[in-house]
Amino acid sequence: MDSEVFLRQEVESASPAKLRWLLLQKAHGLTEIVCDQWQKGHVFESRQWVIRIQDIFGELLEGIVDPKHELAKQQSDLVIFLMKLIVLADQTQDLQALDSVREILEIEKDTWGMLARRSLSNDSASTTASVAANSESDVYVPFSLEA
């Protein structure tokens, strides 16, 4: 129960970069579960996790608020590619395709984690600096996970 409250507070107070990192981290972890389920021959159970991964990919796409921005376009293309690849991997229990999804998610997770940490350190520094020197002008992130 306490972990649910903590997670809810974490999500509600997180920056867009951190929210993307949290989603990528979850999707990455779920690919590990899918791999384990395949190795045990539990195809039906693995499909439930693949559906959750697809849901996360959908949430990542919904978080793109400026589709004309080049970074957003690249992220959209990458997420769509991952969606197609996870479906292909699931249909054939292709471990190589699943490993590709997992590797890409790991890179994305690490990248967004660095951006979230940078954003956090810039936010703490900006509390003592003037509004004009706010670091948000340094890093434009055309993403949001807010409704």
| Domain residue limits, the chain | 14-120
Model pLDDT, residue 50: 97
- pLDDT > 90 in the chain, percent: 59
The stretch 52-64 carries a mean pLDDT of 95
C-alpha–C-alpha distance, residues 116 and 21, integer Å: 8
Q: Do 128 and 138 contact (CB within 8 A), yes or no?
A: no
The CATH architecture of the domain made up of 14-120 is Up-down Bundle (1.20)
- pLDDT recorded at residue 132: 40
What does the alpha-carbon distance between residue 115 and residue 137 come to, in Å, rounded to a whole number? Answer: 14
Give mean pLDDT, residues 49-71.
92
Q: What is the mean pLDDT of the chain?
A: 83
| Phi/psi at 66 (5° precision) | -135, 75
| Residue 93 to residue 39: CA distance in whole angstroms | 10
Mean pLDDT confidence for 28-49:
96
